[in-house]
A and B are shown apart, each in its own frame.
Chain A
Amino acid sequence: MNGRTEDCPRRHWESAAARKEREDLESILQIKHLTHTYGVGTPFQRSAVEDMSFDVYSGEFLGIIGHTGSGKSTLIQHLNGLLKPTSGQILLNGKDIWAEPKKIRDVRFQVGLVFQYPEYQLFEETVYKDIAFGPANMGKTGEELDHCVREAAKLVGIRDDQLFKSPFELSGGQKRRVALAGVIAMEPQVLILDEPTAGLDPAGRENLLANIRDYHRNKQRTIVLVSHSMDEIAQNVDRILVLKSAHVLMSGTPREVFARADELISAGLDVPQVTRIAMRLKEKGLPIDPAVYTVQALEQELLAARKGGAPC
């Protein structure tokens, strides 16, 4: 437990969140009254996203959480212009991304989107070429391209000797890293990850998340992490956006969101395991704040409760 407190990345993220509050960081993406309706004019008409408004701040690590069918995937495909809003606007650095539909490709380079199970999009003969696909489409060549590719590979933990292998010889987890590197290599201002850890084992999951955290810390770039695992979100992000049936249910720091754990549960969502334990302890009569979501925080709450003289 001591070891974990030492290298706990938490403090860093919290300071980023605090900084955001202090300096009121600029919005990099602004979503304004976004609505997307599938099958307009057919009996199957259905809004996947309805009148959503929120901002993504520059340099933050935002988590989006919601049930299957809450509109997560539809929402993020709007952020890089893969889907066009039925109504509403998306502003990137204050400019409507659909102002010039011909330049939508530039938006995609600035807002990198990594789909779910991205390993199925690999196609090149070597890992190197596959990572280079994105930046080459941007028009990068020669040394600049080489630099992008190697740096992205290093960020996600791909060794140099793996660069010239066929991506199909790699394991599932490594393939996913290559796919992730393929988007990171475009050096997007905002990186959106849709369920990046789906289908990985616990070790692989933690490994990949550590890479993402490193990327965030070293590059100070904005990251949007979409997930349905509360624990994963709670332990990584500065701010959480909770979606429920095409609407934004709540948004705030993890602490603020998990303080409303009852609402989350009644919306059919999970709360982190630690929060659940704290809630139960409080029910049993311990005077602690149940809005904790890390083991360390719960530990401190418990120690404080003991000092206060509660039976523990």
Chain B
Amino acid sequence: MLKDITLGQFFPGDTVAHKLDPRTKILLVTLYIIALFCAKSVVSYGLLALTLAVCVRISRVGVRALVRGLKPVLFIILFTGLLNLFFTPGTRYLVEWGPVHISDTGLHNAIFMVLRIMLLIMGTFLMTYTTSPISLTDGLERLLNGLKRLHVPVHELAMMMSIALRFIPTLIEETDKIMSAQKARGADFESGNLMQKAKALIPILVPLFISAFRRADELAVAMECRCYHGGEGRTKLHVLQYARRDWVALFLGGAITVGVLVLRQFGL
């Protein structure tokens, strides 16, 4: 059951979407998010949804995998949708039933808000599905390189991020193992009230924390043994380089964003 978590999962592939420079993909997702928040009309939402559909098509990531990524945030989506639906004052009321009323603006807002969150999540998931965590952090590090002058520890942050991502599957596996071991000693995680359920987590959390600290310690020693001392003077095995497809992709992404902004100017 823990294996269903898809956060940061990478589906290896050989499509253009996989081959793009990670920096390009990060920039494109950023542009996409900006465009999403500027979109106001059916036309611009349609354009953005179409863009995503084309990208999904190119990447050959299954639609089912993408929809599964929405599952953990389903509650937030529903909550936002319902809140907008029932609590937005408007000029015209479609339903009035005691204290419950739905206005036309409310309906409009709810639909667009839900669409926006869904597109946003699917867009970012598309990036993590087609980019390995390592190259993603590598791209992020290069993108933020300029901030080093402001004494932002960019390399350290990127290293922390890649370590964190690296250990997610390890810790999930570990949790599974510890749960099995405690179940074998008769631990019961399913029944009981909230308090008992919280208490039942102690036999999992304590060993899990201890093992996480142990792993961190071991990793630190191993890094030190190999003379790791931060980013200063460190070179890369794979130096990121923009190719022609990156420029094309960035140009298209920029054009779509500008298109949405122009549409907004025309009130669409």
Q: How far is the CB of A303 from chain B (nearest CB, A)?
A: 47
A106-121 interface code vs B (CB 8 A; 1 in, 0 out): 0011001111001011
Taking the complex as formed, is B178 at the interface, i.e. its CB lies under 8 A from any CB of chain A? yes
B210:A121 contact, CB within 8 angstroms: no
A185 (CB) vs chain B CBs: closest residue: B185
Cα distance, A182 to B184, chains bound together (Å): 10
A175 → chain B closest CB, angstroms: 11
**B151-187 at interface with A (beta carbon < 8 Å):** 177-178, 180-187
Would you call B186 and A109 a contact (CB within 8 A)? Answer: yes
What's the minimum C-beta distance from A146 to chain B, rounded to whole angstroms? 18
User: Contacts A115-B177, A137-B188, A168-B210 given: A123-B202 contact, CB under 8 Å?
Assistant: yes
Chain A residues with CB below 8 A from B177, complex form: 115, 120
Chain B, range 168-226, C-beta contacts under 8 Å to A: 177-178, 180-188, 202-203, 206-207, 210-211
Could you tell me if A120 and B178 are in contact, using CB atoms closer than 8 angstroms?
yes
Is A112 a contact of B202 with CB atoms below 8 Å?
Answer: no
Given A115-B177, A120-B178, A123-B202: A108 in contact with B207 (beta carbons within 8 A): no
A residues 24-83 near B (Cβ < 8 Å) are 77, 80, 82
Q: Separation in Å of the B139 CB from the closest CB of chain A?
A: 29
Task: State the CA gap A186–B207 with chains docked (Å).
Answer: 21
Contact assessment for A137 and B180 in the assembled complex, using a CB-CB cutoff below 8 Å: no
Q: Are B185 and A105 interface neighbours, CB within 8 A? A: no
Establish whether residues A133 and B210, one from each chain, have CB atoms under 8 Å apart when the complex forms: no
Q: Is the pair A121, B182 in contact by a Cβ cutoff of 8 Å?
A: yes
Q: How distant is B198 from chain A, measured CB to nearest CB, in Å? A: 15
Task: Choose one: A77, A120, A133, A168; the contact of B185 (CB below 8 Å).
Answer: A133
Would you call A186 and B186 a contact (CB within 8 A)? yes
Partner of A186, one of B181, B182, B185, B202: B185
CB nearest neighbor in B for A138: B186
Q: Does A134 reach chain B (CB closer than 8 Å)?
A: yes
Question: Total interface residues on B, using CB and 8 Å?
Answer: 17
Instruction: Tell me the dominant secondary structure on chain B's binding face.
Output: helix
Provide the A154-171 mask, 1 if CB < 8 A to any CB of B, else 0: 000000000000001000
Contact status A183-B185, CB under 8 Å: yes
A residues contacting the other copy or chain, number (CB 8 A): 23
- Is A122 on the interface with B (CB-CB < 8 A)? yes
Tell whether, in the assembled complex, residue A134 and residue B180 are in contact, meaning their CB atoms are under 8 Å apart.
no
Q: Which of A120, A133, A168, A182 has the most CB of B within 10 A?
A: A120
Smallest beta-carbon distance B218→chain A, Å: 13
> Contact at B186–A121, with CB atoms within 8 Å?
no
Chain A positions 92-140 with a Cβ under 8 Å from a chain B Cβ: 105, 108-109, 112-115, 118, 120-123, 133-134, 137-138
Q: How far is the CB of A168 from chain B (nearest CB, A)?
A: 7
CB-based nearest A residue for B206: A123
Instruction: From known contacts A120-B211, A123-B207, infer whether A183 and B184 are also in contact, taking CB-CB under 8 Å.
Output: yes
Instruction: Other than A123-B206, A168-B210, A186-B185, give 20 A-B pairs with Cβ distance below 8 A.
Output: A82-B180, A82-B183, A82-B184, A105-B186, A108-B183, A108-B186, A115-B180, A115-B181, A120-B181, A120-B211, A121-B178, A122-B207, A133-B186, A133-B203, A134-B185, A137-B186, A137-B188, A138-B186, A182-B185, A183-B184
A residues neighboring B (CB under 8 Å): 77, 80, 82, 105, 108-109, 112-115, 118, 120-123, 133-134, 137-138, 168, 182-183, 186
23 A-B pairs (CB sep. < 8 Å): A82-B183, A105-B186, A108-B184, A108-B185, A112-B184, A113-B184, A114-B184, A115-B184, A120-B178, A120-B211, A121-B178, A121-B207, A123-B206, A123-B207, A133-B182, A133-B185, A137-B185, A137-B187, A138-B186, A168-B210, A183-B184, A183-B185, A186-B186
Question: Residues of B with Cβ closer than 8 Å to A?
Answer: 177-178, 180-188, 202-203, 206-207, 210-211
The 6 closest A-B pairs by CB, nearest first: A137-B186, A123-B206, A134-B185, A121-B181, A113-B184, A115-B181
